[in-house]
A = this chain, B = another copy of it.
Amino acid sequence: MAKSAKSKAIKETLKLCRLGIDTYHENVAYLHRECELYRAEGFQALSKVKICADGSHILAVLNVVDDDSIVTSADLGLSEEAFTKLGLSEGHLVSIEHAEPPASMNAVRRKIAGERLSQNDFYHIISDITDKLYSKTEISAFLVASGQTDMDRDEVLFLTRAMLESGEKFDWNESLVVDKHCIGGIPGNRTSMLVVPIVAAHGMLIPKTSSRAITSPAGTADTMEVLANVELDIKKLHDIVRKHRACLAWGGTAQLSPADDIMIAVERPLGIDSLGQMVASILSKKLSAGATHLVIDIPVGATAKVRHMRQAQRLRKLFEFVGDQLGIHLEVIITDGRQPVGSGIGPVLESRDVMQVLQNSIDAPADLRQKSLRLAGRVLEFDPDVRGGKGFEIARDILDSGRALEMMDTIISAQGVQKIKFELGKLEHEVLSPATGVVINIDNLQMSHIARFAGAPIDKGAGVDLFKKLGDSVKKGEPLYRIYAEFPSDFNFSVALCERNSGYQIGKKDQIPKAFVEF
């Protein structure tokens, strides 16, 4: 009576086809509703399916197709990224299986219920995230469950360690490998492109890898790319660093803390950025890049990521605790985050600011120069031969003498000069002061938003050029800033946005908020 299917389990097979659809960091599989082998709808309520062939597999979200011209009932279509990841050719036979939810979701549910997780729990979660077993909603659940009120500092350590061990690690075989990192949120804050050449000119090893912007108008990698190639393979990156003591490269080619990249892609659009996640994200990246000494910049201001001094101090302690446990020498610097740094926002404009500072141009933004010198000074003081408090002067000498510019040129040549000459966007719009007075507020978030709408960072020449900064006097009708865009649709979006809220407030000198900062 017992009829078993075990012996005659036929391998169901569909023909793989590649669909020209870019689904942005989410694998999508396309199955025809009338597929003869699988009940497309039966799979769909589940969050994911497993596409298998020749021992390899990927997980994907399933979309059901009713149009034969997209996929036929004998095909399985994959989105661009999913197709690349599976790594097979079109026409290859594949099968579908139900994908089990990742086992570590149990730990996430325990975290939601208020439990403290162990080092092992974090290892499992991060390993499953790295293996792309989590859907975006599951990542979102983990991020919220381990948000700032819910993770103690040991758990932040556990998470950092798990992220660090999830990927590759650079080993530079030197006892002093320095780095600097800003927690982000301040447009125009391109200090890395100044700190790196200054510090490297002093002879310190500073292999700087940076990210591209996710929700901001420019990352260091986007801006450096205006000047040089930033997508270096690992070997080339190592060769450059060995030879010149420095690089300014995109970190995405190395698998450094890969879980971080996956989580950030969900976290940023959600606008949640808890202190614990921030510490784990930054320290796992820096440690896996091989840094032994690190300066961290925490800007504080009403529209910065950190809004109060007490929160900045809490974050500093957390960085210090986790850094000490993981054996990195770490200095936290709290800086003025009340307004954008420099004049330009967007890759071309920001690279202009950086080059003006390096060239000691009279047009160079003083705040970008000053902040970069102070940060570089702190990094230089990691050198045992530099006396405490003397770093700033050494940094200034290196910059003023042109040695920093020379080092930047060396780095650019080594990485490869950018062949495309990126220009400022041709469409321009000036925003004028509605009153006479002084600038009493510049909203970091709104300025980022306006530059982003104008097309930055995808259009490198798009962005915002600021003519006035906090405390500057303005007359009614005088320009506050200029928007640059390449595409008419972007231009219109950006202009419409700044017409709703320009991001500037004009008032009286005594209304300027105090900076609660160390420098």
Contact = CB atoms under 8 A, between A and B. Distances in A.
A112 B274 contact: yes
Contact of A69 (B64, B69, B114, B459): B69
Most buried by B among A10, A45, A491: A45
A128 to B, nearest CB: 14
A460 to B, nearest CB: 12
A348 interface: no
Copies of this protein in the complex? 2
A47 B269 contact: yes
A479 B269 contact: no
Given A22-B63, A70-B70, A430-B3, A38 B489 contact: yes
Given A65-B21, A144-B140, A489-B39, A114 B429 contact: no
Given A21-B65, A63-B24, A70-B19, A458 B3 contact: no
A292 interface: no
Contacts of A112: 144, 147-149, 272, 274
B12 A147 contact: no
Interface in A64-94: 64-67, 69-70, 79-80
A428 B4 CA distance: 8
Contacts of A148: 112-114
A215 B42 CA distance: 10
A493 B12 CA distance: 11
B493 A98 contact: yes
Given A5-B495, A6-B495, A272 B64 contact: no
B270 A141 contact: yes
Given A21-B63, A112-B274, A140-B137, A2 B432 contact: yes
A1 interface: yes
Given A492-B9, A493-B98, A487 B39 contact: yes
Nearest to A483: B5
A46 interface: yes
A369 B425 CA distance: 75
Contact of A455 (B42, B137, B459): B42
Interface of A: 1-6, 9-10, 12, 19-24, 30, 33, 37-39, 41-42, 44-47, 62-67, 69-70, 79-80, 96-98, 101, 105, 109, 112-114, 135-141, 143-145, 147-149, 214-215, 266, 269-272, 274, 427-430, 432, 453, 455, 458-459, 479, 487-493, 495-496, 499
Q: What 5 pairs between A and B have smallest CB-CB spacing?
A: A20-B67, A20-B66, A114-B149, A140-B140, A144-B144
23 contacts: A2-B429, A2-B432, A10-B492, A12-B492, A19-B70, A20-B65, A21-B65, A22-B44, A22-B65, A22-B66, A24-B62, A24-B63, A38-B489, A39-B490, A45-B215, A47-B269, A66-B80, A70-B70, A105-B271, A112-B147, A112-B149, A140-B140, A141-B272
